[in-house]
Structure 1
Amino acid sequence: MRCYDCLQEARNDITGIGVCSRCGLAACENHARVRQVKVTRQLGMGASSGRIPARRVVCHTCDMAETSH
């Protein structure tokens, strides 16, 4: 799989390292961002979160959209 953002920049030889968890496009090591996310589960009337955060991959565009506020 090839990185979508690199293809848009006319660099079609860059291999993707992951798939964005928001939009589903492939991203290379330059365009991918690895973020930590809290894992929660329902516990009775509330939610419980784990001590160890999970990780997820997002592309540069989705990362900018999530952190722009």
Structure 2
Amino acid sequence: MNCYDCLSRQRTTVAVAVCTRCGAGLCLDHAHVAPEIVHESAGTGVTAHSRNARRFTCGICHEAEI
């Protein structure tokens, strides 16, 4: 898979991640990495894990979330 943002600029760059919102392929230059709290149901409540997961987004989705 190639980076979608690079292809729109007539460059071919291998994608190293996928946007979790829109599914676009992303290279290291276009990937935005943020922590994500992982929740799961446990008994009668919801619990959060002590460590955060990684979440990759493209520039468009990153800006839309701010």
2:8 equivalent to 1:8:
yes
Amino acid of the residue matched to residue 42 of structure 1? S
Cα displacement (A) at 1:35: 1.1
In structure 2, distance between residues paired with 1:60 and 1:66: 10
TM-score by length of 1: 0.85
Query: What is the aligned-residue RMSD (CA, Å)?
Result: 1.1
Specify the alignment match of 1:35 in structure 2. Answer: 34
* Mapping for residues 1-69 of structure 1, pairs under 5 Å: 1-11=1-11, 13-67=12-66
Cα displacement (A) at 1:43: 2.5
Count how many residue pairs are aligned between Structure 1 and Structure 2: 66
TM-score by length of 2: 0.88
Structure 2: unaligned runs, 5 residues or longer? none
